[in-house]
Amino acid sequence: MSQNERTFIAVKPDGVQRGLVPEILSRFWNKGYKLVAIKLTLANEDLLREHYADLTSKPFFPSLLSYMLSGPVLATVWEGKDVVKQGRVLLGATNPLASAPGTIRGDFAVDMGRNIIHGSDSVESAEKEIGLWFKKEELVDYKPTLTSWIYE
C-alpha cells in the first residue's frame, strides 16, 4: 500500500451535533495519518443521492437521506499507508452494537441509524467520494515534519 493512499471520512450530522469532531480528528492524527482536506458543509440532496447511489433502492434510503440532510457534515480526506482499510478499523462496524470498544462507533454510537461517521470502503470508492465532496484544488499536498517518525 502506498503512503499516498487517500480515504474519505465524513462525520455525519449526529457526530457534529454531539461535539465529537475533535475526538474523531484526533484518532486519525494520533494514528499518524495526514489530513489533506477538511470542510464543514450542508450536503444537498443531489450530492447525497450520488454518494449513496448504491443504496437508493434500499428501504432505509429515505431515512438515511433525511438524516444526512438534517445538519452539517464534516467532510475530510486523510492520506497514508493502508488508510482506507485502517480507517474502517478506526470507525468500527457499521452497526455500532457490533463495534469493538476503542473504535469510534464502539465508543460513541448505539443505533445503526445514528452511527456518527462514514468511511470509504475501498480505494476506488474513496477516489469517487473525494471527487464528489472536494474540488481537486481543495486537496492540500504537503509533507508533515513527523513523517520520518511514522514511516520507515
Going from N- to C-terminal start, the domains of the chain cover 6-136
Residue 2 scores a pLDDT above 70: no
pLDDT at residue number 152: 87
pLDDT at residue number 1: 46
Annotated binding-site residue? 12: yes
Burial of 136 from C-beta contacts in 10 A (0-12 / 13-18 / 19+): exposed
Q: Which three cell numbers stand for residue 132?
A: 464528489
Sheet of 34-41, strands arranged across: 34-41, 73-79, 6-11, 117-119
Interacting residues of 60 by C-beta distance below 8 A, sequence separation 6+ = 113
Annotated binding-site residue? 94: yes
- pTM beyond cutoff 0.85: yes
Residue 6 scores a pLDDT above 90: yes
Domain 6-136 has CATH 3.30.70.141: yes
Catalytic residues: 118
Q: Across residues 75-98, what is the average pLDDT?
A: 97
Annotated binding-site residue? 147: no
10-69 pLDDT per residue, tens = 999 999 999 999 999 999 999 999 999 999 999 999 999 999 999 999 999 999 999 999
Annotated binding-site residue? 4: no
